[in-house]
Structure 1
Amino acid sequence: MKSTTVAKNLRSGEWPLLEYLRELESRFAKVEPNLLAFVPEEDRWARLYREAKELLRRYPEPDHRPPLFGVPVGVKDIFHIEGFETRAGSLLPPEALSGMEASAVKRLKDACALIIGKTVTAEFAYIAPGPTRNPHNPEHTPGGSSSGSAAAVAAGLCLVAIGTQTVGSVNRPAAFCGICGFKPSYGKVPTDGVIPLAPSTDHIGWLASDVDGIELTAQALVPDWKLSQTEERPKLGIPDGPYLDYVTGDARLYFQETCAVLRAAGYTLLEVPAFPDFEELYRWHHLLVAGEATRAHERWYPKYKPLYRPETTELIERGLKISALDLETARAVRQRQREYIAALMQQRGIDAWISPSATGPAPRGLNSTGDSVMQLPWTQAGLPLLNIPTGFVRGLPVGIHIAGPWAKNETLVRWGLDIESLFKTPAKCPT
Structure 2
Amino acid sequence: MSLSEQAILALSAREVASNIQTGSLTACAAIAARQAQIARHEPAILAWETLAGAQAMQAAEALDGQAHKGALAGVAIGVKDVIDTADLATGYGSALYRGFRPAWDASCVAMARRADAVILGKTVTTEFAMASPNQTRNPHNPLHTPGGSSSGSCAAVAANMAQVAYGTQTSGSIIRPASYCGVVGYKPSFGTINSTGAKVLAHSLDTIGVITRNVRDAGFASAVLASRPELNVGEVSAAPRIAVFRSSNWAQAQSESQAALEFAATQLAAKGAHVSEIATPPHFEQLFAMHDAVMGWEVAHALAFEHRRSEISDVTRRFLDFKAESTFAHYQQAQAALGEWRRQMQALMDGYDVIVTLAAPGEAPEGLAATGDPAFNQVWTLLHTPCITVPAWRGPKGLPVGIQLVGRIGDDARLLHGAAWVEDQLAVKQDFTGVV
Residues 58-81 of structure 1 show CA distances to partners (whole Å, capped at 9, x for unaligned) of: x23xxx311111111000001111
Q: What's the CA shift for 1:100?
A: 3.5
Q: Which residue of 396, 400, 407 maps to 1:404?
A: 407
Give the TM-score normalised by the residue count of structure 2: 0.92
Deviations 1:9-64 (A, max 9, x none): 233231222222222222211110111000134xx32222211111222x23xxx3
AA partner of residue 421 (structure 2): D
Comparing 130-139 with 306-315, greater Cα deviation is found at 306-315
How far 1:228 sits from its partner (Å)? 6.5
Question: In the alignment, is the contact (CA less than 8 A) between 2:363 and 2:401 conserved in 1?
Answer: yes
Partner of 1:141: 145
1: CA distance, partners of 2:171 / 2:190:
12
Where 1:300 maps in the other structure, the secondary structure is: helix
What residue number does 2:386 align with?
384
What is the SS of the residue equivalent to 2:295? helix
Q: Which amino acid aligns with 1:212?
A: R
Matches within 5 A, 1:96-245: 98=102, 100-226=104-230, 227=232, 232-245=238-251
Distance 2:26 2:428 in 1: 27
Compared CA separation, residues 225 and 246, structure 1 to 2 (3 A): farther
Letter in structure 2 aligned against 1:224: R
**2: CA distance, partners of 1:310 / 1:131:** 16
- 2:283 aligned with 1:281: no
Instruction: State the partner residue of 1:15.
Output: 25
Percent sequence identity is 31
Rounded to whole Å, the distance in 2 between the matches of 1:129 and 1:366 is 7
Q: 1:50 and 2:53 equivalent?
A: no
8 Å Cα contact 1:102-1:191 kept in structure 2:
yes
Note the alpha carbon deviations across 1:332-352, whole angstroms, 9 max, x for none: 343332111012223xx2222
The separation in 2 between residues aligned to 1:9 and 1:430, in whole angstroms, is 25
Note if contact 2:85-2:102 (Cα within 8 Å) is conserved in structure 1.
no
Partner of 2:435: 430
- The answer to whether the Cα contact below 8 Å between 2:392 and 2:402 also exists between their aligned partners in 1 is yes
Alignment partners' CA distance in 1, 2:60 and 2:259: 47
Change in Cα spacing, 1:138 to 1:94, as seen in structure 2 (3 Å) is closer
Q: Distance in 2 between matches of 1:331 and 1:243?
A: 22
Q: How does 1:341-420 map to 2 (within 5 A)?
A: 341-346=345-350, 349-394=351-396, 395-420=398-423
CA separation of 1:178/1:231 partners in 2, compared to 1, >3 Å: closer, same or farther?
A: same
Give secondary structure in 2 for the equivalent of 1:402. strand
- Name the CA distance, whole Å, in 2 between partners of 1:232 and 1:93: 49
CA distance in 1, matches of 2:113, 2:307: 32
Q: Given the superposition, is the C-alpha separation of residues 98 and 316 from structure 1 closer, same or farther in structure 2, using an over 3 Å criterion?
A: farther
Does the 8 A contact of 1:116 with 1:158 survive in 2?
yes
For residues 405 and 68 of structure 1, do their structure 2 counterparts lie closer, same or farther at Cα, with a shift above 3 Å needed? same
Aligned to 2:261: 255
Distance 1:372 1:158 in 2: 25
Q: Alignment partner of 1:92: what SS? A: helix
- In 2, are the aligned partners of 1:391 and 1:424 still within 8 Å (CA)? no
| Structure 1 residue 225: Cα displacement | 3.1
CA distance in 1, matches of 2:71, 2:158: 22
Equivalent residues in 2 for 1:64-75 (5 A)? 64-75=68-79
- Structure 2 counterpart of 1:220, which letter? V
Question: Are 1:200 and 1:331, in contact at CA under 8 Å, matched by a contact in 2?
Answer: no
CA distance in structure 2 between the partners assigned to 1:224 and 1:241 by the alignment:
31
Secondary structure of the 1:233 match is: coil
Cα distance change, pair 426–177 in 1 and its aligned pair in 2 (3 A): farther
Following superposition, the deviation at residue 97 of structure 1 comes to 8.2
Q: Describe the shift of the 1:129–1:31 C-alpha distance in structure 2 as closer, same or farther (beyond 3 A).
A: same
Distance 1:24 1:344 in 2: 43
Unmatched runs of 5 consecutive residues or more in structure 2:
1-10
C-alpha contact 1:133 1:366 (8 A) present in aligned 2: yes
Q: Which residue of structure 2 lines up, in the alignment, with residue 329 of structure 1? A: 333
Structure 1 spans left out of the alignment, 5+ residues: none
In 2: Cα distance, 1:219 partner to 1:241 partner: 30
Question: In 2, Cα distance between the equivalents of 1:97 and 1:277?
Answer: 46
TM-score by length of 1: 0.93
CA spacing shift, 1:310–1:332, aligned 2, 3 Å: farther
SS of aligned partner of 1:68: coil
Residue 40 of structure 1 is aligned with which of 45, 50, 57? 50
Q: 1:354-395 CA distances to partner (integer Å, 9 max, x unpaired)? A: 012111111111111111111122111000101111231221
Question: Deviations along 1:194-234, whole A, 9 cap, x unmatched?
Answer: 10111111100001001121011012211133247875432
CA distance in 1 between partners of 2:32 and 2:385 (Å): 40
Aligned residues, how many? 421
> Would the alpha carbon gap of residues 414 and 367 (structure 1) be closer, same or farther in structure 2, given more than 3 Å must change?
same
